Copies of this chain bind each other. A is one copy, B any other.
């Protein structure tokens, strides 16, 4: 696949959701922002993340921490007062819960984990600056009925709908239950984070009311011919691991996951760290900004681990 560089519109280096205009182009920003930065990752790990847009960790959370997160998830999903807050997203068929957003604001357990050095330190090092929490959620992906996620770049959404200027953000997908090959684990096309794939449809008003369920998506999904070409060229990775294992991935990674038809739930915590030098503003391609439980507008840095120095 040949990536084409387009002339950017004024101030918008990643034009997308422009009807009829969809040629993919090369990412305009780094992936690893300061290769010499101190932190938990070796230079080999930084190189791998730079190349693939993703990196795995065997056990960043303890068994006690994942158990506590699952307990908190059960508490939050049972809390009927949250149902109308928008934070609790039902499954598209109406049976069960697909996601709970902003869990770090709803639970001290999640807040502590999200702010821990073990997790935030990875983001500090890769993004080369202080970071803040852009979004958190738990995707429940229940046994038998848990729905999937089609091919997309998170940055394409955050740029369009939240006003994130550049792909200087990073997600951690943290297994709270085992992620097996058969219960809908994360898939990434390694290396596709170097290509920005514009979407061809305009963002409908209040799009998040339906888009978070993953059905009837005019805007956001990556062009299928482009996904196919990139996957043929670059391959495919599917991430499996026990509870406590983690995948860190670039905000512009092309990723998806299958529905879960197995009898084992696949429940993951997602944490998105954004650079404090990349704070969000006016949406680039949406009528209005999304609620802050989907895209925080409080840019308070996560405390920098002491050993990183000043």
Q: Could you list which residues of chain A lie within 8 angstroms of chain B, going by C-beta atoms?
A: 143-144, 148, 150-151, 180-182, 184, 187, 224, 227-228, 231-232, 236, 238, 256-264
CA distance A256 to B184 in the complex (A): 14
CA distance A264 to B257 in the complex (A): 14
Would you list the 7 A-B pairs with minimal beta carbon distance, nearest first?
A181-B181, A228-B263, A231-B263, A182-B238, A258-B258, A258-B261, A227-B263
**A259 interface neighbour in B224, B236, B259, B262, Cβ under 8 Å:** B259
Q: Is the CB of B224 within 8 A of A263?
A: yes
A151→B182 CA distance, assembly (Å): 13
* Cβ distance A228 to chain B, nearest Cβ, rounded Å: 4
C-alpha gap A261/B227 in the complex (Å): 11
Q: Is the CB of B187 within 8 A of A258?
A: no
Q: Across the interface, which residues of B come within 8 angstroms of A257, CB to CB?
A: 261
Given contacts A181-B238, A224-B144, contact A231 B187 (CB under 8 A): no
> When chains A and B are docked, how far (Å) is the Cα of A236 from the Cα of B261?
12
Complex alpha-carbon distance, A256 and B182, angstroms: 10
